Amino acid sequence: MSWDTVADVASAICMLGGAFLAFAAGVGVLKFPDLLSRMHAGTKPQVLGLVLVLIGLALRLRSGGAVWALVLVAIFQMLTAPVAAHMVGRAGYRTGKVRRDLLVVDELTEDLEEAENDDR
């Protein structure tokens, strides 16, 4: 068995795993009941799925320039997805889209109330 065959099989496994995680993220966004659950389903498996697809693509392409471009895409995705999810969560919280009865710890309300009391 040659290196090319092993790399192609590993590439196929990574791409199928990434496609499954991306599909699971989409199903979670459609089926979960509240904003925070949907946001979690949309970011965590989606990022890991994309990274797996990029790894599979890098194993398939095997050229230096393309692999470095894929590494940059993965780094940019891992840096921006958590920030975007955080901002969506805060916006949803402030507009009343978050079900507060489902929260175990609600530090944002405590911080907002404390800041409001300090302003007076």
What is the pTM for the complete model shown? 0.80
Range of the domain at 20: 3-119
User: Within 13 A of 32's CA, how many CA atoms are on the CB side?
Assistant: 17
120: pLDDT confidence band, cut at 50, 70 and 90?
Answer: low
Q: Are 43 and 56 in contact (CB under 8 A)?
A: no
- Per-residue pLDDT, averaged over 22-47, amounts to 89
pLDDT exceeds cutoff 80 at 36: yes
Query: In this model, does residue 102 exceed pLDDT 90?
Result: no
How many structural domains is the chain composed of? 1
- Those residues whose C-beta lies under 8 Å from the C-beta of residue 53, and which sit 6 or more positions away, are 14, 15, 18, 19, 22
